[in-house]
Amino acid sequence: MTRYKHADFTDDDSVGSVQLTEGINTSATHIRYHTGTSMWKRRSMLEKSLLVLVGTLLFVVVVLGMLLNSADRRIQDARTVHISSEYGKQQPCLNETCIHIASNILESMDSTVKPCDDFYAYACNGWIKKNPIPDGKTSWSTFFKLEQQNQLVIKHVLDQPIDTLKSKAEQKAKLYYESCLDLNETIETLGAKPMLDLLIKIDGWNISKSNFSATGCSLQKTLQVIQNKYYIGALFSYAVGEDDRNSSRHVIQIDQSGLTLPTRQYYLNKTEHGKVIEAYLDYMIKVGVLLGGNLNETKTQMQAVLDFETRLANITTPSELRRDEESLYNLMTIKELQELAGFIDWRAFFENAMRVVNKKIFSKEQVVVYAPEYLSNLTLLIKEYNETQDGRIILNNYLIWQTVRTYTGCLSKAFRDAYKGLRKVLIGSEGGEEPQWRFCVTDTNNALGFAIGAIFVREVFHGDSKNHAQKMINEVRNAFKKNFKNLKWMDPETREAAEIKADAISDMIGYPDFIQNPKLLDERYHNLTVRNDTYFENNIQLNYYNLVKNLEKINEPVNKTTWSMFPSTVNAYYTPGKNQMVFPAGILQSPFYDSKYPASLNFGGMGVVMGHELTHGFDDQGREFDKDGNLHQWWNNNTIDLFKNRTECFTKQYSKYQINGKNLNGNQTLGENIADNGGLKAAYHAYLEYTKGKPDPPPLPGIDLTHKQLFFLAFAQVWCSTVTVETANLEIVKDPHSPAKYRVIGSLTNLKEFSEEFKCSAETRMNPKEKCEVW
């Protein structure tokens, strides 16, 4: 799941508007079941008896077929866990939902693997065998299956006549979608022209020879154009977000930025990543030539740009060293920022930015700088390049390249093809096999996500899901808090404050209310102009629209009910500055949640997600923010030391795990690992509390597992997935989450209740002697 830190700051995971981290950090699976109970009441007793008999016979045939098709596995069933309890006496649940659930669970499992040896393989090998990565994809998972189901829902509506849509905002979404589909082949007809026209507007580019003057180029002017008009983060990025130390107000935030490739390691470790650098340079050259550059001159100039980016990478702080929020936060005036990093006139830069929203900036205006050392080193680097005309040209070439590569995905096929080689090296696939409409549905959701959210919610999200989710959140929260008394490392004062914070975490479920009001939804997108035949220009307009929406927040009070994720998204997030959890409608579906599912599956799926986001409020970064979302020390010093000692256990544990012979970075994934472990534990104990005093539900047919065991199986099967070698390697260096396999294995090996339920003997792989625990 996602955890947002600073407002609107996200790592740039794309090159040429194509996602590099496809399959990383996203969503979930969906297969819906319907029982048709309304027709049942109208049957005669004879009909009902016959239907029950036929249904039972059909079930027997299905189960026998499954048994015969997996005879080899069943011979080894003695190796799996069997529980000789009251489950052996109970009749299994034989309704349609239970049969479907059981069928899907069995198909995903591999009973030849002992659950105490490798629970991920036990839960997911069957799924992996039956779900090879589709052509053109770099990964495949239960997450993507659900996303594709959601895409079908949205496509069905967007394909309808425009006058059937409920609001102007939804109509704009349809127009954007059609521009992406390029039904009139406008994109191909225009070719490079939209980009060449843009280059002229920003005073040209030396590589394309389009209206460029070396004597007239100015770093200040170029930065103001690309950052304050086209919203391109080059050299640094800035945004307006909640002040970490005073979450009721907005403040300008400045951070390091400017690398095209997903992580600095690609630039600095050429022994391991030499092929990536070669492919990146090749991509740069192809684009330069497509825009009119001479081949040999383009090679020389693009190599110089790459060399500059490499030097930027060298002064960029690795993400794993940026986890201490206290040390990252540096509040200063614009005047003090000028003294720290004088490579541009910062007051003039921000005055230029704020003109679009008619707001003033003064030298005493406060900003938060998250990378002062980077900006200081950047000043020295730019000074070196500014000393010669050739150096100034390289700087300008770099800045314009950042603009060009952002929009090449909006150009003709030749530009998109230029990217394929780099994409192949980075994530293991050239792409292009997916139907264009799927890409365009995703792109439209990214562009006008609340308009798409209104469509999605209207089509598939039902009110009872929201009510049930609210109850489950409270049950998980209560279990999480109840465990505080067992934490011997916590002093009483900190424990009490932590309970107050847990109670104060607000939860947003499904969607923001305004999307169901066409007037309010239209107001949201009032200033966005969209046409169905100008895809490139639509993206220019969209970036400017997002820039203005962000700048409008300066000097305005913080609204802690705003959403940073769209309703159809299959994900969830926690925001420390708002002390808020958000669970979009997109994730409140099977396998995470279904009102017809047994509680064991719902708590193992959605309950763990809720526990995960809740625990983010108390991970190594979230714990630094108090109940009001303000960054300051509110823990006892000794408790902080004991907490850090416990987190070191996680760092060491996950750093020992390997994918493709490469060790994970346990420090980089620390926050997510803490959330995975804490969320699993909280959800399991919430489930135990939920079932206390209730009769045991009937077992699922053909599955010799208790519902407590099914809780863990449901949790694991949510993460069934497969990825290319390249994407897996990218995850290791880039993703703050551990790979799916170790999100399952790591969490379960640390939870003694798992080993108890599956009767794992001491020192089996899933029941190691040393267990890590924080929450």
**CA–CA dist 685, 678 (Å, integer):** 11
Percentage of residues of the chain with pLDDT beyond 70? 88
617: helix, strand or coil: coil
- For residue 174, give every residue at least 6 positions away whose Cβ sits within 8 Å of its Cβ, in sequence order, or none: 158, 162, 165, 532
Q: What's the pLDDT at 430? A: 81
Q: Report which secondary-structure segment, H or E, holds 508.
A: strand 506-510
pLDDT above 70: residue 35: no
Encoded amino acid at 302, one letter: M
Is 613 part of the annotated catalytic residue set? yes
Query: HSE-up of 48 (CA within 13 Å, CB side)?
Result: 8
pLDDT (tens digit per residue) in 435-458: 899 999 999 999 999 999 999 999
Taking the domain 210-410, which CATH number applies? Answer: 1.10.1380.10
Q: Say which of 243, 613, 726, 731 is annotated catalytic.
A: 613
Question: How large is the average pLDDT for residues 170-187?
Answer: 95
Burial class (CB in 10 A: 0-12, 13-18, 19+), 332: middle
CA-nearest of 747, 755, 586 to 682 is: 747
For the whole model, what pTM was predicted? 0.85
* The pLDDT value given to residue 130: 93
Residue 703 CA, chain-centre distance (Å), reads 33
For the residues 699-723, what does the mean pLDDT come to? 94
Neighbours of 675 (CB within 10 A): 27
Confidence of residue 81 (pLDDT cuts 50, 70, 90): very low
Token pair for 177: 């979608």
Q: How large is the angle between the packed helices 420-427 and 270-290, nearest 10 degrees? A: 160
Q: Are strands 18-19 and 139-141 parallel, antiparallel or unpaired?
A: unpaired
| Confidence band for 45, pLDDT divided at 50, 70 and 90 | very low
Least confident of 23-27, 77-81, 306-310, 409-413: 23-27
Closest CA to 713 of 598, 595, 572: 598
Catalytic residue among 676, 731, 735, 757: 676
Is 523 an annotated catalytic residue?
Answer: no
Judged against a pLDDT cut of 50, whether residue 316 lies above it is answered with: yes
Evaluate the omega torsion of the peptide bond into residue 591 and state whether it is cis, within 30 degrees of 0: yes
Average of per-residue pLDDT across 743-751: 97
For domain 1-146+462-514+565-775, give its CATH number from 3.40.390.10, 3.10.20.30, 3.40.50.300, 1.10.357.10: 3.40.390.10
Query: Is residue 622 a contact partner of residue 61, using CB atoms and an 8 Å limit?
Result: no
Q: Is 560 exposed, middle or buried (0-12, 13-18, 19+ CB in 10 A)?
A: middle
The pLDDT of residue 1: 57
Percent residues over pLDDT 90 in the chain: 76
Confidence of residue 261 (pLDDT cuts 50, 70, 90): very high
Extents of the domains making up the chain: 1-146+462-514+565-775, 210-410
